[in-house]
Amino acid sequence: MSVLVVDDLRTSLQINGGEYHAVREISFSIEEGETLAVVGESGCGKSMLAMSIMRLLPSVASITAGRILLDSLPIEAVSETGMERVRGAKIGMVFQEPMTALNPVLTVGEQISEPLRDHLGLSRREARKAAIGLMEKVRIPSAASRYSSYPHEFSGGMRQRVVIALAIACHPRLLIADEPTTALDVTVQRQILDLLDVLRTEGKMGMLLITHNLGIVAGHADRVAVMYGGDLVESATVTDLFRNPAHPYSRALLASLPRVDRDLSELASIPGRVPTLVNMPDGCRFMDRCPHAMEKCNSMPPPADVGDANLHMVRCWLYVQGGEHAA
């Protein structure tokens, strides 16, 4: 059974009386124990997609079409209070900067104990024991004695381990990790990603991994979704995408990487920039940067359903019947 199904999702922003689509007709699913990496430059809609799934959108944004099923539960039918419970118990979240997820005036142990009492109904004593167990699980040394330490007494890597302990405390079905290691040095990055892999497999969780780093995608994801301008432009297994990138944007990303551990935010070899939401072209959103752009790319967005979303899907007129490369 799929842990997460996103079906034809559209998230729109209201800006100065106009409606702009920040996420446009996106479909994918994540299975138990699977990691889907979402990649693309800044401004491509990756975080807006994650916020849509968590229903943590800014006030100007709303989901205007499509559905999101979390463990078969349609989240649009869940009340705001119910969503707080879903976020605490069914979705674990790990963000780039652990300090934003932690309360500086509470000990790390108290913070890990809180959801155990709130969502699992454990007593204070039981929650303390379980929290220490979680701290051991995420490999925080001397867990029992560090229960009473404050976040500022931990290094960046150890703080991220505390956030991961919090994220998995209630056995979530889905883990959303948004640039979870960007703020950490390379050695600690690898340790945290390896830890997430182990916990995901053990807990049979699905993981949505948002990253700029194609090295992380290659080493830690099963499938990859490439986003551009709020569109899902290509999705495939990691092996398939690295060997046979089809969309001109995916090809450009990979071609401009002499080493796969370079950061997408540093790419200079794709001319131009992601257009802002209010300046998106009517047709294909990659059109201004695409070396293969044709007349119809200008007038109509390419259809989203070329190929199979769970095998190899590409959203480009080149692959539609009659296009240059159509099968």
Instruction: Please compute Rg for the chain using Cα positions.
Output: 21
Looking at beta carbons only, is 219 or 281 nearer to ligand SF4?
281
Stretch that binds ligand SF4, among 71-79, 130-138, 139-147, 314-322 (CB under 6 A): 314-322
Q: Least Å distance between CB 226 and ligand SF4? A: 11
Asked if 313 touches ligand SF4 (CB under 6 A), the answer is no
- Give the residue, chosen from 75, 108, 175, 297, that forms a contact with ligand SF4 under the rule CB under 6 A: 297
Q: Least Å distance between CB 43 and ligand SF4? A: 17
Stretch that binds ligand SF4, among 91-99, 139-147, 154-162, 294-302 (CB under 6 A): 294-302
Asked if 284 touches ligand SF4 (CB under 6 A), the answer is yes
Q: Exposed, middle or buried, 89 (CB in 10 Å: 0-12/13-18/19+)?
A: middle
- Give the residue, chosen from 67, 85, 190, 292, that forms a contact with ligand SF4 under the rule CB under 6 A: 292
Q: Least Å distance between CB 243 and ligand SF4? A: 19
Looking at beta carbons only, is 292 or 312 nearer to ligand SF4?
292
Q: Least Å distance between CB 313 and ligand SF4? A: 13
Asked if 190 touches ligand SF4 (CB under 6 A), the answer is no
Stretch that binds ligand SF4, among 50-58, 61-69, 141-149, 292-300 (CB under 6 A): 292-300
Q: Least Å distance between CB 318 and ligand SF4? A: 5
Asked if 193 touches ligand SF4 (CB under 6 A), the answer is no
- Give the residue, chosen from 226, 290, 306, 313, that forms a contact with ligand SF4 under the rule CB under 6 A: 290
| Interface contacts to ligand SF4, rule CB under 6 A | 248, 284, 286-287, 290, 292-294, 297, 302, 316-318
